[in-house]
Amino acid sequence: MNKGLFGTDGIRGVANQHPITPEVALDVGRAVVLVLGKNAGPVRVVIGWDTRISCDMIASALCSGICASGGEAFLAGVMPTPGIAYVTLSEGFDAGVMISASHNPYQDNGIKIFNAKGFKLSDELEQQIEDLVLGAGSDLKNQKGYETIGRVRRIDALEGKYEAFLRQTLADGNLLRGLRVVLDCANGATYRVAPHIFSDLGADVHTLFASPNGKNINDQCGSQHTQTLAKTVLEKKADIGLAFDGDGDRLIAVDERGKTVTGDQMLAVIAGHLKSENRLANNLVVSTVMSNLGLHQTLLKMGIDHIITDVGDRNVLEQMLRKKAVLGGEDSGHMIFLEHHTSGDGILTALQLIQVIRATSKPLSQLAGIMPIYPQVLINVRVGQKKDICKIPEISHKISDIQNRLGKEGRVLVRYSGTQPLCRVMVEGPDAGETRRFCQEIADLVQNKLGG
């Protein structure tokens, strides 16, 4: 399938440059109504966004397209991506749209689309929308008459409904009482809801990076930049630090000693606890090829089955649905709890992790210690083109040579980003120095052959 619009997580790019332009967003709005409108009456689409300065521009264009096709647009305002996924299903919308580029800098933006059940679209539905927008399908300009034009409405109660959903996922409403928590909201979509819900649940909360200005989202903060969070956890003598990304679907934690706890470690901790309570459906965890070798070893020791997918939460979700698993995720902190939600959710992940801390009466540092972390080096190389790596002999031979030298004690993974002009080079092995050297060798070769 030739996908020229959608990447691994919706449509994404630099704001005001193709495809993140008002013109494309307008046509996406039109196409969403045509493709996802299956019920009688106007198609109802809920729209949310993060705190980027370009969100107003994209939201306005989407609304115009939706209304031009006879749909109705409902504005939720700034909300986390999982919040939009939740209210799309719970409030009976035909579709949900989130305007965000997740953990990317403010210059980027994106469009994520959910179906009526709160799931991200299948490849087939994305292709239908893409064909319409790029002109391969029916003409979007063939609109109905003026009497069918839709309206735009603002709904202010949706954030509260999302908060109520998060509360009901806890078995004990007093679970957080007395817990000292530091939150890093990445100047993003969680800046209101996260401090409110953790405080409301009784935690002693100190909040960082909750003053968005349109340009400071993910800027040296959030799930990819936990230095300030770790420092603050130690200064405040907190029990845990929680860092969300710009749209709130990821979580990276910091333990009481100021050490970062990865998504893989959280998966291991939560999986072990669910198994101990006989709640790990089919005794199965799903993760991606980016997961650390230590996760596989830990799950093996715990007697838990492990399925590995390609990168992307959609791939994780697909296998979870197919194998009827309830827990899956990525090392980046994007985790899915299917017994609760259809989407990765940073706040939900935090609450699930805290439930394990409280149930076991163990600090996070001790819990996370069950998983050894193999030295892993990731280098992102900016590329001017995305040629098939296997068809570039120098690179493919170098990868094979290093993989052979690592043997079963390590691995090499070279892949292109689905949302940015980057080639991600990852090497994992038993020795930190050797692992870094191997990774740099491959990255230098990629830079030489494909660098942009």
Instruction: Check if the beta carbon of residue 45 is closer than 8 Å to that of residue 74.
Output: yes
Handedness of CA 291, 292, 293, 295 (dihedral sign): negative
Instruction: Check if the beta carbon of residue 243 is closer than 8 Å to that of residue 254.
Output: yes
**Distance (Å, rounded) from C-alpha 364 to C-alpha 205?**
17
Residue 39: CB atoms within 10 Å:
11
Instruction: Check if the beta carbon of residue 189 is closer than 8 Å to that of residue 248.
Output: yes
355, 358, 360, 365: CA torsion to nearest 10: 90
Residue holding tokens 């603050």?
232
Residue holding tokens 């050297």?
437
Residue 400: helix, strand or coil by DSSP?
helix
**Which of 362, 404, 212 has the alpha carbon at shortest distance from 276?**
362
Residue 235: helix, strand or coil by DSSP?
helix
Residue 7: helix, strand or coil by DSSP?
strand
**Distance (Å, rounded) from C-alpha 176 to C-alpha 203?**
5
Catalytic residue status for 287:
no
Query: Which residue type occupies 302?
Result: M
**Distance (Å, rounded) from C-alpha 267 to C-alpha 270?**
5
Catalytic residue among 54, 64, 100, 102: 102
Sheet of strand 260-261, all strands in order from the earlier edge strand to the far edge:
204-208, 180-184, 240-244, 251-254, 260-261
β-strand partners of 2:
none
- Pairing type for strands 11-14 and 108-114 reads antiparallel
Q: Which residues contact 235 (CB under 8 A, 6 or more apart)?
A: none
Task: Name the residues annotated as catalytic.
Answer: 102
